[in-house]
Amino acid sequence: MTDLNNNTAKGAVVPPPPSAADIAAANASIPDVPFEPKNFLAKFRLDGKVAVVTGGARGLGFSMAEGLCSVGLKGIAILDVQTDLGLDAIKKLHGAYGVQAQFYKVDVRDETAVNDIMDSIARDLGAIDIVVNSAGVADLVHAEEYPSEKFRRVIDINLNGSFLVTQAAAKHMIAQGRGGTIIFIASMSGSIVNWPQPQSAYNASKAAVKHLMKSLAAEWAVHRIRCNSISPGYMDTALNRSYTTLFNEWKDRTPLGRLGDPDELTGACIWLASESSAFCTGSDIVIDGGYTVL
């Protein structure tokens, strides 16, 4: 049997390795072409852009709004139902980053109000370039006891509200003619069934959000509107800490041994909002500490 690892099999001639002189001569023959370094971080900048963040008055939404402001936004619109928190949010963002910040009180389920507010944002801030759909709610209710009106509310805010906001913003992006980027905040709950807590409406809504994102990414690519989503795992928020028993169980089931910090979603949000992700659309980024790999 021929030894395939034997280079001398069947009389093959093995050339000697190149000498130091041969290597030096080869290197000397390479033309001296100037090599200009690239500033890859510059592509993460959002200078001159205007962003809209729903549910941006606190929590994950505010963290992502702050991240976008930190890389040069010209303007940001915070949409929320809580006026005091919303006004406080824009005060902080303007004071810390010098960005033009506006608050608009709105229920994302209200189609007329959403459309009117998008018109106001385009007028007040000059454009709409980025949308982050962060507004959302969840219930912990056993399915056999779930009141239909509560189930509909979760779907209406998480799914329908995201669509109404996105649709209204996309009309301005299409009219502006320079594209845009839309980021949906989905959840690992759109891919797995969380256990042991009962949250069928939330899980269903987030699975739908992910597929809505993919549908819009395909449909609006012709307009250079990119649509992507971020799917967080269990995050270390005040709300999650209030579920003491579940909090510890979530932590134990996460391979990294902890819940995520809200700011640990911000890098992905900046990347998706910026030109550094210019060839990325229709993608879902899971940030869950490894929870869904088990």
Q: Is 120 a catalytic residue?
A: no
262 close to 58: Cβ distance less than 8 angstroms? no
> Is 202 a residue of the active site?
yes
Residue pair 161/109 in contact (Cβ under 8 Å)? The answer is yes
134 is catalytic: no
Annotated catalytic residue: which of 49, 206, 274, 277? 206
In the three-class reduction of DSSP (H, G, I as helix; E, B as strand; rest coil), residue 138 is classed as coil
Q: Which of 63, 134, 187, 229 is catalytic?
A: 187
Cis peptide before 196 (omega within 30 of 0): yes
Helix 59-69 vs helix 83-97: crossing angle, to nearest 10: 20
> Which among 49, 162, 202, 234 is annotated as catalytic?
202
CA geometry: angle at 110 spanning 104 and 112, to 5°? 85
- Count of helices and strands (H, E) across the chain: 10, 7
How many Å apart are CA 189 and CA 202, to the nearest integer?
8
DSSP string, 153-194: HHHIIIIIHHHHHHHHHHHHHHHHTS-EEEEEE--GGGTS--
Instruction: Give per-residue burial for 182-217: e unless 16+ CB within 10 Å, then b.
Output: bbbbbbbbbbbebeeebbbbbbbbbbbbbebbbebb
Which residues are known to be catalytic?
Answer: 187, 202, 206
